[in-house]
Structure 1
């Protein structure tokens, strides 16, 4: 594998590969796996020469045949239990493995493009980090139900979409189950697990910008009794980008091992090891010359505002953990998720920050940041299912703990101005000295309880939580420490009625909190922001049809938002408040076994309702009021059996580019297309993103803009056995 894909397995990975090799020797049958994932398409148990979109059969809360359908029927992240989406009194959107593959998504941001109420590409063509906006607020990211670190920016972990089984977007406040969280929602990524049914796949991908990629996915039972299951998923990729002098390169491997000695106990070890020798490099470009006309000329979308030979961004991440489940009897169940993660990054960059007057040039600064992050998360839950008369209870008692430890050294300097129409990078840039040294600790402990009750066709969900969150910021240069402790109580209540026709209306109320770093001019620590939301919605799952339709109306408010201190420059006070109201519609349906349609629309109306900086009554920046999407895929019959074609359109409406609301980012409609041919165990897929090569701005803020991803085409050849 080292010669083929260019990466060296670590010892734990190599050991598991040896076990898998032994298992493969035992395997007597070779077949296309039920639910085997492909790089840019779906797969199924149908004959190899048939291309259909089969209906889903739910088997667990983590697999759900996500490789076979766009139409997810349940999401464990919403309630931390195995409950169907139709019975969840909350808005939840799911991107299955099949959708990720069909649309050619290579990362989390691309995978979320077609969801209503979600803006996932705030960084434009820059995919070093996931920045997902849900209902007007930046969403928090979780992996397998455990929070990903939020104390850092440059060392944030990154995940290849091929390593994921699904992505769940749980909308609205979710602090009851997850502690400190954005009021907009939570993005929960679910890793691929080991399966008893065999999965064997390898693929290679090529495309523009000199893209070269390869990957493999091997899974199955390691013994005849299926007490041991193993899986290894890996990718290796290298490509240039639409911006001059920039490239991505990564190696990623995710071994997993499951031990299930009986039908009551399961222990799954999860791990992931990733290396980004070149993690990409982009610059936010000045507003003048991108959004606003510059008489000296427009800044090209391929302009590189950095410094070749100076800029470098390398990142590595490793994580190990487990998921444990034990059913004591028909009532009590114990579950525990645990993960230890560490990431490291070294980032040297030159970046533009404004245009030069009367010249097609940009000013530039330099920066060098070195970070090391250690993150430990554990979540323990005790569940109980029982009846009290005619009421069925599904109770959950939990305690979770998070500990982050971030060490950072940094330095800043100057760089020469640069002509963006005819850049000359010959002027050297000196590496800034690392003069600032700090260490940040963040600890959170939470206790929570939830009861999902059912009486006849009524469903009632009640939950409550108590949190203690503490941060300690150490300035290692002057040997000082700032300690901040926050306490919060949050809750949730949801009521739903299940009609026999498959219609389920509901109402939901939930609250959230997020600690704030820093102090006022008087030295008082900022209080956590608080969120609260009322949501009314309806879900519809037609009988006998592989489909799910949802509609929701919400009113979401956040308080204790930081605004500028009018009496003390460079300080803040907590007098701000933001309100977001909206409507979201989403539908996914297999109209026939050969024809799939997925669509969404969202209207988001954010407003600053309280502020002392002149922004009251204005809209927050970068939030599009209207977003819509449509994707359709059809498997051709007859002599063209094995051929599938499809495509989609995604619309992002106008948004404000500055807090004064005097500049708008234009609306844009982007077209995508796909084609696939499957013959026996071989499959060739072609995806084109931004089919018309439209040049557009994805997002702008007061200090700059990002160009969206221009036309990108991918051709993938995969083999399953």
Structure 2
């Protein structure tokens, strides 16, 4: 292993304190260490960070992350980040037997997941009352965001609560989720597993890598997973294939280049069809159409990452990704209503055939300098995105079904297409971030970004439309470090939501104060934040004086709340993660499509209270370990008019692991231990939360 690689692993995070200059991270750190080469001593100022910061955290063996990676854009200390953040490490992903994004986020404060139950087309989650924007390795997923990501592809997931457009571009104000891909390591490692469980769930996975030469300048990683399973309702399937390969080249201690190629293939059923509204039904019942319930996804991505440290305070980073996607689905669903009599229910078919192609890249320069009374970190970057998509959607009447004696009538004889679109999006962005650190106590952060967006679309009639936007967002933050353990911050961050042709982009602004505590000699992090978040320029229906309803950009929404999180490795045997969120949402100005005012109403799927705790204990002899988790979700409204509401719910998860011998484990995991059943979404039909699922996994590591 090279001298620099060894040095990265020895650096104490308290010495390598990082600082955020990003909007989503809140500050940017740089890499400049004065190096006395003769005696191998290294000096780090409060805003100086190692170029290979991701070598400090050990995600495979730790649930407490000390750094945010943000996919190669910036690497910053969690303690000094003036924003509310959560990091789910590889160890926590494994402890909780996570396979979907919804499962990844269900123990994260401020995040509600799975509020559409057995609608399995996408991963559904919101942060602070708004739809979250998703990234992979710091680059927006854009038109790929509807794909259900596979947790086995990632070594960590970073959740950033609040607006963040200043560094990452157009996004809703609630927050973002950044998936960090597994990368090659300059050491030999490997793991493999087999799983069997509920709903005839069969799964195998493999993850291995090593250096490819004696000089340890070239390393590889290979990751693969195959899943063959049904879902909890009849006439369903959930078959997935994922393959990823990566190469990293580090010819010197200051230069690194990584290439990652991955392929995802999903063949599954998208929907149970929903359940009638009159009473509670068994989850395994199916009221859709067995011959017309398909979801086929195929995606190929190529990712490149490059870093060069000039060893004089200047650091250059470049990232790119190309993706190609096909996404086709179709299903039939129930149409029920309150007060319905009889057992014959109407049904409708719905689906979309889609293709998307996307290229996104950035180039970032970071410069750090030390002065007598302060230190400076400056980050400047350019980003380019070119995305195109084609989709056609169909909708129409389907044969009714008798819910007392379901008989399936087959797929629709013909499909009625109501929408066809060919869209192109181009974005050119420039951003600048600046940090100043004074007396090892105060950190001042500022940032500005401009996004120039060119949009064009052709619809089903052949009508072509286009639009262009130039949107600027800013952020500012002040962090005060009381000591090496405690930091406090106050921040203001703006956001610009992804725009549509002919509509003024929706803008958000968040004010937040927070505190973080990382006790010395204890592997733990506690954080609390209080925020006020608003979204303006929301397009709503307005009744004009002549009685005509027209869309106007005057809507406004507001969220106020508190988020608390604790991640603790109490001992080598016991780890604990817990969180609590309180959230007040309000439509300040808004209407339904009919023009009816909804002023003063709460958001949909936005509970006031959410809480969770997950603990994992290993016996002193290390032959066995236990995990237990509890998730509480308060009641929330199903519709914007606030006419129907869910019940509050508490779900318990559990696990037991027996360690046969070094490197080999057997794990039994139970999700929703007591098989609680409740309605999580309701409209023309009810949708239930996932039921009890038991899986048994044999895993071997080397």
Whether TM exceeds 0.5 here: the answer is yes
Q: Using a 3 Å threshold, how does the CA distance of structure 1 residues 500 and 63 change in structure 2: closer, same or farther? A: closer
Could you tell me how far 1:410 is from its partner in structure 2? 3.2
Q: Using a 3 Å threshold, how does the CA distance of structure 1 residues 590 and 58 change in structure 2: closer, same or farther? A: farther
Which residue, out of 345, 350, 356, partners 1:367?
A: 350
Aligned length: 644
Partner of residue 671, structure 1: 652
Could you tell me how far 1:389 is from its partner in structure 2? 3.3
Instruction: Say whether 1:661 aligns with 2:642.
Output: yes
Instruction: Say whether 1:692 aligns with 2:674.
Output: yes
Once the two structures are superposed, the pairs formed by residues 43-58 of structure 1 within 5 Å of their partners are none
Cα distance in structure 1, aligned partners of 2:685 and 2:123: 18
Once the two structures are superposed, the pairs formed by residues 245-394 of structure 1 within 5 Å of their partners are 245-276=235-266, 278-283=267-272, 285=274, 289-290=276-277, 294=278, 297-355=279-337, 357-394=340-377
Cα distance in structure 1, aligned partners of 2:570 and 2:418: 62
Could you tell me how far 1:346 is from its partner in structure 2? 2.2
Instruction: Say whether 1:120 aligns with 2:113.
Output: yes
Q: Using a 3 Å threshold, how does the CA distance of structure 1 residues 170 and 569 change in structure 2: closer, same or farther? A: farther
Q: Using a 3 Å threshold, how does the CA distance of structure 1 residues 282 and 571 change in structure 2: closer, same or farther? A: farther
Instruction: Say whether 1:212 aligns with 2:196.
Output: no
Partner of residue 687, structure 2: 706
Q: Using a 3 Å threshold, how does the CA distance of structure 1 residues 62 and 238 change in structure 2: closer, same or farther? A: farther
Partner of residue 188, structure 2: 198
Cα distance in structure 2, aligned partners of 1:483 and 1:672: 49
- The answer as to whether partners of 1:205 and 1:715 remain within 8 angstroms in 2 is yes
Cα distance in structure 1, aligned partners of 2:236 and 2:462: 39
- The answer as to whether partners of 1:507 and 1:536 remain within 8 angstroms in 2 is yes
Question: Which secondary structure state, in structure 2, belongs to the residue aligned with residue 213 of structure 1?
Answer: strand
Partner of residue 546, structure 1: 523
Partner of residue 578, structure 2: 599
Q: Using a 3 Å threshold, how does the CA distance of structure 1 residues 371 and 618 change in structure 2: closer, same or farther? A: same
Could you tell me how far 1:123 is from its partner in structure 2? 2.7
- The answer as to whether partners of 2:71 and 2:136 remain within 8 angstroms in 1 is no
Could you tell me how far 1:530 is from its partner in structure 2? 0.6
Cα distance in structure 1, aligned partners of 2:543 and 2:685: 25
Q: Using a 3 Å threshold, how does the CA distance of structure 1 residues 375 and 265 change in structure 2: closer, same or farther? A: same
Question: Which secondary structure state, in structure 2, belongs to the residue aligned with residue 253 of structure 1?
Answer: strand
Instruction: Say whether 1:431 aligns with 2:421.
Output: no
Which residue, out of 578, 600, 610, partners 1:617?
A: 600
Question: Which secondary structure state, in structure 1, belongs to the residue aligned with residue 74 of structure 2?
Answer: coil
Could you tell me how far 1:303 is from its partner in structure 2? 3.1
Partner of residue 79, structure 2: 86
Cα distance in structure 1, aligned partners of 2:521 and 2:155: 25
Residues 343-377 of structure 1: CA distance to partner in whole angstroms, max 9, x if unpaired?
Answer: 00222222223349312343211234221100111
Residues 574-632 of structure 1: CA distance to partner in whole angstroms, max 9, x if unpaired?
Answer: 22100000001100111121111111000011100112432101101111110000111
Cα distance in structure 1, aligned partners of 2:55 and 2:458: 40
Question: Which secondary structure state, in structure 2, belongs to the residue aligned with residue 656 of structure 1?
Answer: coil
- The answer as to whether partners of 1:62 and 1:190 remain within 8 angstroms in 2 is no
Could you tell me how far 1:214 is from its partner in structure 2? 0.2
Cα distance in structure 2, aligned partners of 1:500 and 1:298: 55
Q: Using a 3 Å threshold, how does the CA distance of structure 1 residues 62 and 315 change in structure 2: closer, same or farther? A: farther
- The answer as to whether partners of 1:653 and 1:668 remain within 8 angstroms in 2 is yes
Cα distance in structure 1, aligned partners of 2:53 and 2:273: 43
Residues 652-687 of structure 1: CA distance to partner in whole angstroms, max 9, x if unpaired?
Answer: 001012222232100000000011122222111111
RMSD between aligned residues: 2.1
Could you tell me how far 1:284 is from its partner in structure 2? 6.0
Q: Using a 3 Å threshold, how does the CA distance of structure 1 residues 63 and 500 change in structure 2: closer, same or farther? A: closer
Residues 158-208 of structure 1: CA distance to partner in whole angstroms, max 9, x if unpaired?
Answer: 321111110001111100011101100110000000001211111101101
Question: Which secondary structure state, in structure 2, belongs to the residue aligned with residue 425 of structure 1?
Answer: coil
Which residue, out of 567, 573, 592, partners 2:552?
A: 573
Question: Which secondary structure state, in structure 1, belongs to the residue aligned with residue 540 of structure 2?
Answer: strand
> Any gaps of 5 or more consecutive residues in structure 2?
1-49
Q: Using a 3 Å threshold, how does the CA distance of structure 1 residues 69 and 59 change in structure 2: closer, same or farther? A: farther
Partner of residue 50, structure 1: none
- The answer as to whether partners of 2:225 and 2:241 remain within 8 angstroms in 1 is yes
Residues 115-146 of structure 1: CA distance to partner in whole angstroms, max 9, x if unpaired?
Answer: 11111222324443222200110001000001
Question: Which secondary structure state, in structure 2, belongs to the residue aligned with residue 61 of structure 1?
Answer: helix
TM-score with structure 1 length normalisation? 0.86
Could you tell me how far 1:242 is from its partner in structure 2? 1.0
Q: Using a 3 Å threshold, how does the CA distance of structure 1 residues 126 and 366 change in structure 2: closer, same or farther? A: closer
Residues 373-426 of structure 1: CA distance to partner in whole angstroms, max 9, x if unpaired?
Answer: 001110111110112432111211011111110012333332111123321103
- The answer as to whether partners of 1:649 and 1:670 remain within 8 angstroms in 2 is yes
Q: Using a 3 Å threshold, how does the CA distance of structure 1 residues 569 and 325 change in structure 2: closer, same or farther? A: farther
Cα distance in structure 2, aligned partners of 1:135 and 1:239: 33
Residues 71-122 of structure 1: CA distance to partner in whole angstroms, max 9, x if unpaired?
Answer: 1111122994222100111111111111111011111110111011111222
> Any gaps of 5 or more consecutive residues in structure 1?
1-56, 519-524
Could you tell me how far 1:485 is from its partner in structure 2? 1.2
Cα distance in structure 2, aligned partners of 1:62 and 1:440: 40
Question: Which secondary structure state, in structure 2, belongs to the residue aligned with residue 495 of structure 1?
Answer: strand
